[in-house]
Amino acid sequence: MGLIEDAKRGIVTEEMKIVARQEGVSEDSVRRGVAGGHIAIPISPYRRVKICGIGEGLRTKVNASIGTSTDIVDVDMEVEKARQAERAGADTLMELSTGGDFVEIRRRVIENTSLSVGSVPLYQAFIEAARRDGAVVNMREDDLFRITAEQAKIGTNFMAIHTGINFETIKRLKNQGRHGGLVSRGGAFMTAWMLHNEKENPLYAEFDYLLEILKEHEVTLSFGNGMRAGAVHDATDRAQIQELLINAELAEKAHAFGVQSIIEGPGHIPIDEIQANVILQKRVTNRKPFYMLGPLVTDIAPGYDDRVAAIGAALSSSYGADFICYVTPAEHLALPTPEEVYEGVISCRIAAHVGDMIKLGKREADLEMGHARRDLDWDRQFAVALNPECAQRIRAERMPADSDACTMCGDYCALKIVSRHFSF
């Protein structure tokens, strides 16, 4: 019996109780959210994970993606990235390696984190085909399902699976074209395979079989966004919307079957289209948890894309997105370092908090910080800070002569000047 069936029968599981305590909401509201498909709680029968609720009425969650590439295969570095992501406060982790020994890398990462770990099984299936038979288009259909089950058994508890790419989606892509091309690796693999073999996407054609595997291993299905925009001028185009519609229908089927679902969203969106994307995604999916990739709101800031994505993430969260995939400063340039992973998580956590100030009305921490600053209470300021370590380090490096103030104002601290005359 899975979480959805328990929730529908009125059973509040231990996982639901944990989420309710974490979020400060009632246990029954979490149960009803799971029963209705509006909340997902990724779990695994193969390892204990830090419980994390994703969805309606809950704090916006942050995912950090790590993984090797064909150019850089350093398992120890990926393990360190996982540790840095968790240290920075990520809620979940996706292991997306495309180079090296896939099983060993994922096993090592899973052993070194308490977070829920996600993957994209088709990466392994297509890359193994390229290694074995010389090209990704030689991928064997059965391998997609075999690898999905194998990854689940080592403790991968949510998976991005590209079910919404079919011949109708590809027709939309061909008819409209793209300014930025097709940037999803999974989308590119599957599209190339379908066109070369003149066959339908097996994940779409054999969706019932996929659901059986996911339910057996209690995997949460994150519906992949293979047609996401890789340039702001491609946002909200026909291919993206076609894939969304297909995934929305499949998500209803998954929920009825007892498989928890999350819907992934597009990657590059100008600010004036973010609200429309969130509303559309929520409306057509019957308020399934919305996993926003970024989004990046401009394409001209390589080296600073963590900041670009934070702008988009804050707006997305405020409009109702539930789950944000972080972006690092190295996006579009290189495989990120552990330090860049840490910075990417911090940027995304700030954005998620800003969004939750609107979406959930959660402003208590900001009020406490305002009071602590007014009172020149530095210990309280550090305690409330999202990253106390960073704040303490900067102040310690530039301590003022007057320990009550800071070196920005020195002797002319506005708060101290006014406090001599009256108190707030």
Distance of CA 224 to the CA centre of its chain: 11
Percent of the chain with pLDDT over 90: 93
pLDDT digit string (tens) for 156-169?
Answer: 999 999 999 999 99
Report the run of H or E that residue 357 belongs to, with start and end.
Answer: helix 338-359
pLDDT at 417 over 90: no
- Interval 190-202 mean pLDDT: 98
Domains, in order of start, for the chain: 59-359 (3.20.20.540), 371-419 (no CATH)
* Of 259, 320, 288, nearest in space to 39 by CA: 288
Check residue 336 and give its pLDDT: 98
The residues that bridge with 54 in the sheet, in sequence order, are 40
pLDDT digit string (tens) for 108-156?
Answer: 999 999 999 999 999 999 999 999 999 999 999 999 999 999 999 999 9
The residues that bridge with 290 in the sheet, in sequence order, are 263
* Of 342, 322, 340, nearest in space to 330 by CA: 340
pLDDT digit string (tens) for 74-106?
Answer: 999 999 999 999 999 999 999 999 999 999 999
